[in-house]
Amino acid sequence: DTTPISATDLEAGRRAHELDRAHVFHSWQAQALFQPMTVLAASGSYVWDGDGNRLIDLSSQLVNTNIGHQHPAVVAAIQEQAGRLCTVAPQHVNDARSEAARLITELTPAGLDRVFFTNGGADAVEHAIRMARLHTGRTKVLSAYRSYHGGTQLAVNVTGDPRRFANDYSAEGVVHFMPAYTYRSYFGSTTEEEETERALRHLEDLIVLEGPTNIAALILETIPGTAGIYLPPPGYLAGVRELTHRFGIVLIADEVMAGFGRSGAWFAFDHWDLEPDLVAFAKGVNSGYVPLGGVAIRDEIAATFDERAYPGGLTYSGHPLACAAAVATITAMREEGMVDNAARLGREVIGPRLREIAERHPSVGDVRGLGCFWAVELVKNRETREPLAPYGGSSPAMTELTAALRTGGVLPFVNFNRVHVVPPLNIPDDDLHAGLDVLDEALSVADAHVG
């Protein structure tokens, strides 16, 4: 394939890498041990690494670039906005924010008619929790284990994955519950029906034991993303909605990763007709072209702050460049039918191919997902389901598998014992097939570790 990478680009990339190692402090990493990959360029579903190799981006950059890289309409919208008005204080009306809010509330359930914009997902989660607490006058927040809600102080405490342990526990009132996760059921369930019933009974007991009148909010990822793209079993979300209604608890759906078409619906909760009270979003809202997140707010909760000030804010709440990118992204997704395309790719390509791949590779314990949102869960043994890397850690097998994917020409999203297949929603079918061919071949590396 023709590469857009010149010798000068390669040289600039080497220099950038040196400067990165000298001066950049990275998220989540042991700074001296980390070996970051350079990205020199990106287009559609491709990225080019520091050596000029073209990789098929099956990661969408942390499940972010739902419309692919460098979508011309979105790039043009950002340029147009930059030529007109780059930034403005959040108390002033700006047309990009007004229009973005209108478009987003067209997509959210009826009765969620207002949007508070943030800089990303973690602060969206934090503001959603703050709104729920102020609205209810209660303090406690229930959150699922095996979840990810962000890296800021409260968001990481709400998160239910091992990264929380290394942080301080200064957040008060956060209580975790066991999620419904049939493949590794905490309740000993063998069927989805059993899992739904037992997980809901556990949640109801927890609410009663924690004191319903103390609980402000229950937050969950409609489809947990970073924690493994495990789908809620039938009836689970309806049961959670019933419990939260019964006990006057605000239900926050964290759609930061699952939202904006990723699962083959605008929001993942659309698959189960769930109507949450607050929706935290980020990433896909503008495909991450400019940082943006937000909270869509149920009218009754917004009304709490009609006569009384909302005690929170951000300099960049509704940044014009970010909102112009959101308007152009949502418009392009609609015009190009990307959400339906994501649903088709999941149904006709990713699902069938991963299931077929699973049959031939003993290291594959489970495959699951919807739309362009899939996980391949790797195990040492299919019977015991012992994971190929510990939860929160890595293993030589997973490191070798990641390297084999890269060598084969795929940029994967690998997390603990899972490979996530999360391409842009508009990836051409041929590229998707080519990426899955590479995965198929690379999995033999993992098979060698099956005992």
Q: Which residues bind ligand PMP (CB under 6 A)?
A: 62, 120-122, 125, 148-150, 221, 225-226, 254, 256-257, 282, 293
**Backbone dihedral region of 234: left (phi > 0), alpha (psi from -120 to 50 degrees) or beta?**
beta
Q: Can you tell me the distance from the alpha carbon of 434 to that of 437, in angstroms, rounded to the nearest whole number?
A: 5
CB 176 within 8 A of CB 159: no
Complex with ligand PMP: residue 135 or 146, whichever CB lies closer: 146
Cα dihedral angle (57, 81, 93, 109), rounded to 10 degrees?
Answer: -30
Q: What is the Cα 140 distance to its own chain's centre?
A: 24
Q: Cβ 420 to ligand PMP, closest distance in Å? A: 11
Complex with ligand PMP: residue 123 or 377, whichever CB lies closer: 123
Complex with ligand PMP: residue 221 or 366, whichever CB lies closer: 221
Q: Cβ 242 to ligand PMP, closest distance in Å? A: 23
Strands 293-298 and 278-281: antiparallel
Q: Cβ 225 to ligand PMP, closest distance in Å? A: 5
Nearest to 116, CA basis, from 257, 296, 286: 296
Phi/psi of residue 363, nearest 5 degrees? -80, -15
Q: Cβ 226 to ligand PMP, closest distance in Å? A: 5
Phi/psi of residue 380, nearest 5 degrees? -80, -25
Q: Cβ 155 to ligand PMP, closest distance in Å? A: 6
Query: What is the sign of the dihedral through the CA atoms of 12, 17, 23 and 29?
Result: positive
Strands 250-254 and 418-421: unpaired
Q: Cβ 235 to ligand PMP, closest distance in Å? A: 22
Q: What is the Cα 245 distance to its own chain's centre?
A: 26
Nearest residue to ligand PMP by CB is: 121
Q: Cβ 125 to ligand PMP, closest distance in Å? A: 6
Q: Can you tell me the distance from the alpha carbon of 73 to that of 79, in angstroms, rounded to the nearest whole number?
A: 10
Record the tokens describing residue 79, joined without a space: 């340029």
Complex with ligand PMP: residue 147 or 363, whichever CB lies closer: 147
Complex with ligand PMP: residue 58 or 358, whichever CB lies closer: 58
Complex with ligand PMP: residue 48 or 236, whichever CB lies closer: 236
Complex with ligand PMP: residue 397 or 414, whichever CB lies closer: 414
Q: Cβ 294 to ligand PMP, closest distance in Å? A: 11
Complex with ligand PMP: residue 284 or 320, whichever CB lies closer: 284
CB 395 within 8 A of CB 414: no
Complex with ligand PMP: residue 28 or 309, whichever CB lies closer: 28
CB 318 within 8 A of CB 134: no
Q: Letter for the amino acid at 341?
A: N
Complex with ligand PMP: residue 174 or 358, whichever CB lies closer: 174
The owner of tokens 């489970």 is 366
Q: Letter for the amino acid at 430?
A: D
Complex with ligand PMP: residue 226 or 417, whichever CB lies closer: 226
Q: Cβ 108 to ligand PMP, closest distance in Å? A: 17
Q: What is the Cα 183 distance to its own chain's centre?
A: 20
Complex with ligand PMP: residue 150 or 346, whichever CB lies closer: 150
Q: Cβ 254 to ligand PMP, closest distance in Å? A: 5
Across 59-192, the runs of DSSP E, i.e. the strands, are: 112-118, 140-144, 174-177
Q: Cβ 129 to ligand PMP, closest distance in Å? A: 12
CB 147 within 8 A of CB 175: no
Q: What is the Cα 344 distance to its own chain's centre?
A: 20
Q: Can you tell me the distance from the alpha carbon of 374 to that of 422, in angstroms, rounded to the nearest whole number?
A: 6
Q: Cβ 127 to ligand PMP, closest distance in Å? A: 12
The owner of tokens 């699902």 is 351
